[in-house]
């Protein structure tokens, strides 16, 4: 791969982890549903998600980074979907139903999903809430936090949604969806009862393809239909660190990751720090707090920060969890203590940062992309 195609993750996990538990959001996305324009916009999100025991739906195992969205006003045909799935390089793929319905006297934008598939495309605070997805799979609905406030929804109560038919559904809870313009999520079984447009949209993840190649191949698969393609993958490399940068300090996030690894954990691949920074906060785009209380560009829990936070690059004064010049070196120090300076200990160190095997695999896979781009 000639360059790394930067992709902002739509989520951060909220599991029992010593270091973290935050979130990021989707890149900009536009959706056509029942004649109205919906938009997914990145930005810090606040959630009021309650966590419960896993008991019904399959456990959450991985994240998906979306690259391209396809929207067809009348729905995408099965033949087109089959051709898109067959494109070489398409790794993950999901289809969504959608339309506007009425609830509590207001028009609301609703999407219908396979709950066990769609959860991987949501912010990880949301994706890891097993109780929420159990309730959705059982026929309830999820609302965005904005829609909950606007419609004054109360968890556990039933509300009527009117589309092609009127359906009474239990409110499963509000959660960050990583998007604006989508008010509610229902299962695909409920979607059929409401009469939502079947297969209105598809989300595609194809990390090995350039956007130009992916768009070309998707257009060819659509056989000239009037579907709308929306780029989800960010266009640029990690941003320059904001604010005044004293002489001698790194001038960009890439330099910050490189120098933090070299100075604070010799032997730790800087690409691993970069991958964690992207997954945790989108390189500082979403600094929390997460629903677990994690903060800053590397999403430390305050209790972990109290033990491991340091002032980086010769700064005087107390370390700041929100300052990337402190947070990234502190993450390097934490990973080093867990064995991250050796190839054998690196997976164990990443696992210490977030106790999930899939997270280790995601970090290492993303780190390899950095190595290809900068090696």
Complete DSSP assignment for 116-157: HHHGGGS-HHHHT-HHHHHHHHTT-EEE-HHHHHHHT--TT-
pTM over 0.75: no
| Cis before 289 (ω within 30) | yes
pLDDT tens track for 175-218? 877 666 789 999 999 999 999 999 999 999 887 788 899 999 99
Q: Look up residue 26 and give its DSSP letter.
A: P
Distance separating alpha carbons of residues 85 and 301, to the nearest angstrom: 39
Is residue 300's pLDDT more than 90? yes
pLDDT for residue 54 is more than 60: no
Name the 3-class secondary structure at 342: coil
Q: If pLDDT is split at 50, 70 and 90, which confidence band does 238 have?
A: low
Exposure of 11 in the CB half-sphere (CA atoms within 13 A): 26
Q: What is the 8-class DSSP label of residue 42?
A: -
Report how far residue 265's alpha carbon sits from residue 269's, in angstroms, rounded to the nearest whole number: 9
- Asked if the model's pLDDT at residue 356 lies above 60, the reply is yes
pLDDT at 253: 78
pLDDT in tens, 112-166: 999 988 988 876 667 778 889 999 999 999 999 899 999 999 999 999 999 999 9
For residues 305 and 9, the model is more confident at: 305
Residue 134 or 3, more confident: 134
247 by Cβ neighbours in 10 Å (0-12 / 13-18 / 19+) ranks as exposed
d(CA 259, CA 250): 7
């Amino acid at each position: 791969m000639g360059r790394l195609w930067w992709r902002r993750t739509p989520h951060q996990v909220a599991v029992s982890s010593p270091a973290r538990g935050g979130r990021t959001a989707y890149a900009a996305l536009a959706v056509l549903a029942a004649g109205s324009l919906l938009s997914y916009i990145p930005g810090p999100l606040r959630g009021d998600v309650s966590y419960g025991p896993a008991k019904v739906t399959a456990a959450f195992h991985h994240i998906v980074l979306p690259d391209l969205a396809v929207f067809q006003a009348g729905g995408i045909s099965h033949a087109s979907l089959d051709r898109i799935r067959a494109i070489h390089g398409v790794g993950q793929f999901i289809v969504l139903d959608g339309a506007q319905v009425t609830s509590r006297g207001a028009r609301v934008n609703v999407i219908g999903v396979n709950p066990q598939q769609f959860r991987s495309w949501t912010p990880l605070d949301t994706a890891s809430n097993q109780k929420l997805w159990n309730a959705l799979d059982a026929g309830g609905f999820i609302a965005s936090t904005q829609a909950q406030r606007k419609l004054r929804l109360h968890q556990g109560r039933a509300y009527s949604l009117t589309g092609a038919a009127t359906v009474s559904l239990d409110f499963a809870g509000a959660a960050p969806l990583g998007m604006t313009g989508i008010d509610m999520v229902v299962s695909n079984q409920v979607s059929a009862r409401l009469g939502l447009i079947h297969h209105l949209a598809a989300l595609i993840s194809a990390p090995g393809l350039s956007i130009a190649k992916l768009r070309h191949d998707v257009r060819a698969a659509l056989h000239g239909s009037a579907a709308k393609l929306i780029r989800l993958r960010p266009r640029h490399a990690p941003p320059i660190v904001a604010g005044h940068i004293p002489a001698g300090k790194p001038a960009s996030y890439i330099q910050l990751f490189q120098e933090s690894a070299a100075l604070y954990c010799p032997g730790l691949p800087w690409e691993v720090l970069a991958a964690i920074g992207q997954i945790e906060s989108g390189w500082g785009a979403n600094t929390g707090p997460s629903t677990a209380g994690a903060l800053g560009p590397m999403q430390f829990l305050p209790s972990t920060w109290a033990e491991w936070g340091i002032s980086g690059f010769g700064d005087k004064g107390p370390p700041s969890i929100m300052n990337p010049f402190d947070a990234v070196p502190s993450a390097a120090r934490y990973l080093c203590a867990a064995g991250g300076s050796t190839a054998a200990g690196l997976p164990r160190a990443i696992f210490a940062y977030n106790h999930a095997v899939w997270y280790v695999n995601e970090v290492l896979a993303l780190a390899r992309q950095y190595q290809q781009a900068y090696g």
